[in-house]
Amino acid sequence: MITVSDLSKRFGRTTAVDHLSFEVRPGTVTGFLGPNGSGKSTTMRCMLGLDRPDTGGASFDGRAYRQLSSPLHEVGALLDAGYVHPGRSGRNHLRWLAASNGLPKARVDEVLDLVGLRSVGGRRVKTYSLGMRQRLGLAGVLLGDPHTVVLDEPANGLDPEGIRWIRDVLVHLASQGRTVLVSSHLLSEMAQMVNDLVVIGQGRLIEQCSVPEFVERHADRWVRVKSPGVAALVGAATGQGAQASMIDATTAELRGITTVEVGELAARSGIVLHELSPQTGSLEDAFLQATATAQEFAAQPVVAS
């Protein structure tokens, strides 16, 4: 269980994190979502005692990170796969990490096996691809067999196979009852692995809920109807307060009305229906919608002319 309460962090005059509070439950993967620059990394650095918060703080099972005597046994964190000395081999990178928390050398080879880097462990990190560095970072996270895992954008720069691998590892870790918090600025990347969401924008909490709840609250919903008598149907629907937009001569999209209501309207008016289906916007749309007002650098939509 991770508890973040009233966390604030300012850099000069910029407020990176603004009185942020949320909880992360064990046994599930929690997605930490926000647009770029929304304060996810700063929050994670504050959680790990690397940055000093101006207010509030975080605790892991009730204890602040700085109070942990051998943190790698309790919290495995990967902030940036680039935090390695390029001239050191992957194995030696893990060896100093392991030694700092009294972990045996044999554990290093175990985690190298786990992430599939055993054969290249002796190579200097500067020869590693980005995907290999992410795997090395994850090996460091797993070193102490921690019950809490915190990852900042672990899928960044990975190919689809790598993203899938990370997803499988995290889901597996959560299924063993561990607490897993993983940040991303892409919801689509996480949709298939997270159960819970913590969504922030401009350092403030926008929503903490499950994925279905999030979609429920923020996703766009409408009814798609196809009929030779679509004009009459649209007329009847707008008469009941729905908004309509025509897609083509026989197809319309209706908002503010349910499929049941449209079906009954059609039956009453004797209109033949070729299609009647509920539509839901994607998770990505829901996320963009929720964070639209909190984008630090909002781009203008590209309008096709």
Q: Which residues bind other proteins (CB under 8 A)?
A: 45, 48-52, 65-68, 71-72, 77, 79-80, 82-89, 92, 95-97, 99-102, 140
Q: Given the complex with other proteins, which of 15 and 101 has the nearer CB atom?
A: 101
Nearest CA-CA partner of 153 in 3, 287, 43, 283? 43
Contact between 34 and 201 (Cβ < 8 Å): yes
Q: Which residues contact 143 (CB under 8 A, 6 or more apart)?
A: 72, 76, 94, 97, 98, 101, 103, 107, 108, 111
Q: Please check whether residue 202 is in contact with residue 42, taking contact to mean a CB–CB distance below 8 angstroms.
A: no
Rounded to an integer, what distance in angstroms lies between the CA atom of residue 47 and that of residue 27? 20
Q: How far is the CB of 47 from other proteins (least distance, A)?
A: 10
Cβ at position 131, least distance to other proteins in Å: 19
Residues in contact with 69: Cβ distance below 8 Å, sequence separation at least 6, in sequence order:
none
Nearer to other proteins, 75 or 236 (CB): 75
Q: Which residue, 97 or 219, has its beta carbon nearer to other proteins?
A: 97
Decide: 183 and 32 in contact? Cβ < 8 Å.
yes
Using the minimum distance from each CB to other proteins, give the nearer residue, 51 or 109.
51
100 or 192: CB nearest other proteins: 100
Considering the complex, state which of residue 64 and residue 260 has its C-beta at the smaller distance from other proteins.
64
**Shortest Å, Cβ 222 to other proteins:** 46
Q: Is-contact 47 152, C-beta < 8 A?
A: no
Task: Give min distance, CB of 81 to other proteins, in A.
Answer: 10
Whichever of 31 and 71 has its CB closer to other proteins, that residue is 71
Q: Which residues pair with 226 in a beta bridge?
A: 251, 275
Tell the smallest beta-carbon distance from residue 89 to other proteins (Å).
7
* Least CB distance to other proteins at residue 126 (A): 11
Measure the CA–CA gap between 267 and 17, rounded to whole angstroms. 54
Closer Cβ to other proteins, 101 or 282, answer by number: 101
Question: CB of 50: closest distance to other proteins in angstroms?
Answer: 4
- How many angstroms separate the CA atoms of 111 and 136, rounded? 9
Measured between alpha carbons, how far is residue 172 from residues 28, 175, 176, 184, 267 in Å? 10, 5, 7, 19, 50
User: How far is the C-alpha of 80 from the C-alpha of 95, rounded, in Å?
Assistant: 18
Query: Shortest Cβ distance from residue 263 to other proteins (Å)?
Result: 58
Q: How far apart are CA 70 and CA 57, in angstroms?
A: 19
